[in-house]
Amino acid sequence: SGLVHVKNPHLDSMEEDVLYHLDLGTKTHNLPEMFGDVKFVCVGGSPNRMRAFAQFMHKELGLAGDGEDLADICAGTDRYAMYRAGPVLSISHGMGIPSISIMLHELIKLLHHAKCRDVTIIRIGTSGGLGVKAGSVVITDMAVDSSFQPRFEQVVLDDVVVRSTELDRDLVEELLTCSKEIPDLPTLIGHTMCTYDFYEGQGRLDGALCSFSSEKKLEYLKRAYDAGVRNIEMESTAFAALCRLCGLRGESPAAASA
């Protein structure tokens, strides 16, 4: 049917569903009226970046006005920022798996309550490149963990739950085709490694702690490259797992730094 799924039977018995971190709710807002025709959701770490993206989409879609006065739909909270440009929703998710996970839970419930259909969600942002030219865009075909496995592990109560992180293959190819219209933007498909930390977790030598040698770092990154990893960030496994489980076409292209 194209509807966004929620996999939580407890929601049916709730009188009201409050999306705490988005400052929205099923009783306080008419979610179908506000969001029912949304077809694309783009998410990224920075609130300012997502506002700029919404303004860009406003211009590209030829909407009325200059887009400078776009309102933050989540202005009642300082956790996330959300902007609307026609059928495109632009939302910030902060940094790391906990932050994007909270946002995605509430976003998915929002799309469900709004009765949205055939929604595509794309995470845009930056990442650390691995063996690719700086500035290249890596289109993720599979999000992998620090052991290069396509899985998202989460502790639920006292159980370790493992979920698949494969992304929509057709969407991967569609984005690669679109990239060919921008000749000065090098684009490739590859695995994205998701870590729980920016410093030691990504093999950096400049954190407050470092428990490995530069040689050990290079050996690890070579193994990652040989396993198909082309960029590293901190959100993709949670993003892929949640999108897959809830019936959202999801993809996570990211610009790679050196």
Output the domain CATH number for residue 69: 3.40.50.1580
| Residues tagged in the binding site annotation | 79, 123-126, 202, 204
In whole numbers, what is the pLDDT of the chain averaged over residues? 94
| Residues tagged in the binding site annotation for phosphate | 79, 123-126
Report residue 139's pLDDT band, with 50, 70 and 90 as the boundaries.
very high
Report residue 188's pLDDT band, with 50, 70 and 90 as the boundaries.
very high
* Final residue in a domain of this structure, among 118, 137, 156: 118
Find the mean pLDDT for residues 186-211.
95
Number of domains making up the chain: 2
240 plus 182 within the same structural domain:
yes
| CB distance 249 to 240 below 8 Å | no
92 plus 44 within the same structural domain:
yes
* Final residue in a domain of this structure, among 118, 148, 176: 118
Find the mean pLDDT for residues 183-195.
93
Per-residue confidence (pLDDT) for residue 80, from 0 to 100: 98
77 plus 41 within the same structural domain:
yes
66 plus 1 within the same structural domain:
yes
Report residue 253's pLDDT band, with 50, 70 and 90 as the boundaries.
confident
128 plus 112 within the same structural domain:
no
Report residue 45's pLDDT band, with 50, 70 and 90 as the boundaries.
very high
Host domain of residue 156: 124-257
Report residue 252's pLDDT band, with 50, 70 and 90 as the boundaries.
confident
Question: Does the pLDDT at position 257 exceed 80?
Answer: no
Per-residue confidence (pLDDT) for residue 240, from 0 to 100: 95
70 plus 147 within the same structural domain:
no
* Final residue in a domain of this structure, among 101, 118, 135: 118
Neighbours of 222 (CB within 10 A): 12
Question: Does the pLDDT at position 97 exceed 60?
Answer: yes
Percentage, residues of the chain above pLDDT 70: 99
Report residue 247's pLDDT band, with 50, 70 and 90 as the boundaries.
confident
Question: Does the pLDDT at position 258 exceed 70?
Answer: no
**For residues 15 and 154, what is the distance between their CA atoms, to the nearest angstrom?**
29
Percentage, residues of the chain above pLDDT 90: 85
| Residues tagged in the binding site annotation for substrate | 202, 204
- Secondary structure string (H, E, C) spanning the chain: CCECCCCCHHHHHCCCCEEHHHCEECCCCCHHHHHCCCCEEEEECCHHHHHHHHHHHHHHCCCCCCCCCCCCCCCCCCCCCEEEECCEEEEECCCCHHHHHHHHHHHHHHHHHCCCECCEEEECEEEEECCCCCCCEEEEEEEECCCCCCEEEEEECCEEEEEECECCHHHHHHHHHHHCCCCCCCEEEEEEEECCCCCHHHCCCCCCCCCCCHHHHHHHHHHHHHCCEEEEECCHHHHHHHHHHCCCEEECCEEEEC
Report residue 256's pLDDT band, with 50, 70 and 90 as the boundaries.
confident
Q: What pTM does this model have?
A: 0.94
Q: pLDDT, tens digit, for every residue of 105-126? A: 999 999 999 999 999 999 998 8
7 plus 111 within the same structural domain:
yes
128 plus 82 within the same structural domain:
no
